[in-house]
Structure formats: structure tokens, C-alpha cells
Amino acid sequence: MPVNERWTGVLYCNLGTPEAPTAPAVRTYLAEFLSDPRVVEIPRAAWLPLLYGLVLPLRASKSAAKYATIWTPEGSPLKVWTERQAKRLQGWLGERGHRVRVAYGMRYGKPAIAAQLDALRAAGCTRILVLTAYPQYSGTTTASVIDAVNAWSARQRHVPELRFVNRYHDDRGYLQALAHRIERHWREHGRPDQLVLSFHGIPERAVRLGDPYADECRRTAHLLAEWLQLSDQQYTLTFQSRFGKAKWLEPYTEPTLKKLARAGTRRVDVACPGFTADCLETLEEIAQEGRAAFLTAGGKEFHYIPCLNDETEWIAALGNIAQQHLAGWDTTPPK
């Protein structure tokens, strides 16, 4: 390959989402997602018959109906936002003189991480930085992306140089973008009695076995509260999206919302700092189901504060994170 064809790639990875809000498409997506041993840690021989015999037949149509309520003319919100974030990240890095090709890849569904790595390689990338949409590291998410990249790498004869960003839960730019997002909401709509910071849960067992995710969520919440100058009484950290019968991280979001309402909290605002793009878990589970739970239990006002999505300040934070990890790689255009 000629020297001036050496490019640096940035692969921005997110979870992935179904191709359509239909039971067959959701089934395909969930089958891939839930057969990842990083996600469900039950031995394969016991789990796969249960997954195909019970979970998928029951869950696919129920989930599809939920996806239908958030679907946009351009597709699933998660995909729309991830694509825009990657495009704007390309712009941000390009404007700062970095000769990089930014692509986005989905851990489950399309565009697959392997296909995007193939494309970056074909486009002349000899170095690739892998950046995820997950600020907090978890074996269930971040490590699963790393697994997918390594599985691709194991099939290459000429492996590119690879770097991974494992976490940015305490990154100043990320926290500041979140704080400004929330403050802007408060300037427009006034302040709540309580701010609920809801993170996606994981099984409690994973944390007991060493997953640092819960600590990183707590650290993000604490630092964000500091940026917002909130006392411990003014905010609550919760975990949402429990899957299955096992104990997950607590306190759970929905029961907390009900408890707050019953205790006389008039208004809650909910933000989801662990999600950098709005998706089913924020738009349906929080903004619809969470709202209904709070209001039905006697709460008067519920505000969902949207994710960072493609906010300029967030793209700059993401760009800075990428830039820090590109250090030492010459990304200047060839003379």
C-alpha cells in the first residue's frame, strides 16, 4: 500500500437495534443480542433452548409493539442518532486537521462491526481506534464490542493497529455536556423537586464478580450532581430495564418513581446519563412507562430530559476523547 494511502479509522460502536418494528425483525435482533455469552451468562446448553423456545416467541411481538411507538420515518432512533453522531464526529475531527475515516458499527444487527472494520481496512486504514457509545464500562456492553473486534481481528492476516477506549464516565466534556443539557431544560421548564438519574441495569451477580459498571455509574452521577450543584437530597440514582428473574442493580427506576410519587413528590425530572443516544429504553421505558407509573401513583409533573444525541457540545466532547486516544498516531495529511 503506498505510504500516502495510510489512513486512521475511528469505529464508533453502539448496541444496535432491529431493522423494523416488527416481530420477525425484533426476533432476529434479540436472537443475536441474547445469545451473546457476555449478555446472558447462563450455560449455552441450558439457555439456548429456553431462548428459542420461550423468550423469543414471547418477547419479540411485545417488544415490536414497543418499538412501533418510538419508530421514526428515518428508522429506529438509536440508529438515527448513532449515524448522526458518527457523521458529526467525522466533521469535528476533520475540521481539526485529522486525516481520519469515521464509521459506526452495531454490536447486534447492522451495520455489523466486522463489516465496518472490513470497510475501513478496504479504505486504507492501517490504524483503528474503537470508541463505544457507552460512557460506563461493563463486561456486558463494552467488553462485548471488544470481543467482536478481536473476533474480526483473529480472521485477518494483516491486523491493523488497534486501540480501544474502555470508558469515559468521568470525562469532563461528557459531564459538562450532560450538565448543560439538564440546565437548559431547567431554564426552559423550571426545576423539579427531584432529579432521577436512571442508568441501564445489569445483573447484580456481574458486579459481585468484578464488573466495575455500578461504581462507574455512581461516579458519573456524583460528578454530574457536583456540576449541577445538587445536594444528595435533590437527586436519586436508579437502574432500569431489568431482564429476567435474577436480582439486578438496585434501586429499580420504576418502583422508585412510584415511591417518590406516593411520598408526595410533585415533580420529577428523569435523565439517563448512561445512554448517549435516545432509544427504546429512554423513549418508551422512561418517557412513556415511567411517566405513566409516576402520574398514576399520584405524581403531578414528569419531565424526561433527552439524551445528548447530536448536541454540538457532546460531539466536541466525543471528539476530544477520540483525539486523546489518537495521540501518537500521525493523522496529519501526507505532504
The residues binding ligand L6N33NVT (CB under 6 A) are: 15, 17, 30, 39, 59, 63, 76, 78, 134, 138, 140-141, 200, 202-203, 241, 243, 274-275, 279-281
* Sequence letter at residue 82: T
Nearer to ligand L6N33NVT, 202 or 305 (CB): 202
Q: Known binding site for Fe(2+): residues?
A: 200, 281
For ligand L6N33NVT, the closer of residues 141 and 220 by Cβ is: 141
Between 175 and 280, name the residue whose CB sits nearer to Fe ion: 280
List C-alpha distances in Å: 312 to 46, 88, 174, 317: 46, 9, 11, 9
Q: Give the nearest distance from C-beta 254 to ligand L6N33NVT in angstroms.
A: 14
Q: Which of residues 169-228 bind Fe ion (CB under 5 A)?
A: none
For Fe ion (CB under 5 A), the number of binding residues is: 3
Annotated binding site: 200, 281
Nearest-approach distance from CB 284 to Fe ion, in angstroms: 7
Neighbours of 332 (CB within 10 A): 8
Residue 260's Cα: distance from chain center in Å?
26
Element (H, E) at 198: strand 194-200
Residue 19 or 301: the one with the smaller Cβ distance to Fe ion is 19
Residue 305 CB, nearest distance to ligand L6N33NVT (Å)?
Answer: 16
Binder of residue 274, out of Fe ion, ligand L6N33NVT, none (CB less than 5 to 8 A by kind):
ligand L6N33NVT
Q: Closer CB to Fe ion, residue 14 or residue 331?
A: 14
CA–CA separation, 214 and 196 (whole Å): 16
In whole angstroms, give the CA distance from residue 218 to residue 110: 32
State the nearest-atom distance from the C-beta of 64 to ligand L6N33NVT, in Å.
Answer: 9
Buried b (16+ CB within 10 A) or exposed e, 253-275: bbebbbebbeeebebbbbbbbbb
C-beta atoms surrounding 233 within 10 Å: 7
Q: 226 to 285, contacts with Fe ion by CB under 5 A?
A: 241, 281, 285
Asked whether 48 and 35 are in contact (CB, 8 A), the reply is yes
Q: Which does 243 bind (CB under 5 to 8 A by kind): Fe ion, ligand L6N33NVT, none?
A: ligand L6N33NVT
Q: Long-range contacts: 43-49, Cβ < 8 Å, 24+?
A: none
Catalog residues that contact Fe ion under the rule CB under 5 A: 241, 281, 285
